[in-house]
Amino acid sequence: MEHYRFDGKKLALSEKEWKARLTPEQYHILRESGTECAFDNAYFDLKKSGLFCCRACGLPLFQSRAKFDSGTGWPSFTHPIFPENVTYSEDTRASCSRTEVLCSRCGSHLGHVFDDGPAPSGKRYCLNSGALIFQEASK
């Protein structure tokens, strides 16, 4: 499990390299802080066991056991695998101030975190499926 911890090595690519690596929708979400439609995305209702990793760089971010049904239509989690795997930024692009969640390795936009999640963390990491890639646990 320790090998999932962010090692401090950043991934920096040019915009041209990001565009070659990602689909237009993934690029919009990850590099332009976009979002996807609620209830019409890959992982909001996924119930399999495994890891959710950053789609841009592959850093493991959340375990399926931290996932819960928030009723929002986006995949929601109570906490990251390791706190250092995600970073935060104030997001004032909407009509209110929110806390943006970013991948620590590549700086890609993942979604937002709110203080209305279940105990014990009280957090709701509301993320875009397009920002994630799921790795199913081996059986």
Catalogue the active-site residues: 126
For the chain, give the longest Cα–Cα distance: 45
Q: For the chain, where are the E strands, in sequence order?
A: 50-54, 60-63, 67-68, 76-77, 86-91, 98-103, 109-114, 124-127, 132-136
State how far the Cα of 36 lies from the Cα of 116, in Å rounded to an integer.
Answer: 21
What is the H or E stretch that residue 102 is in? Answer: strand 98-103
SS3 15: helix
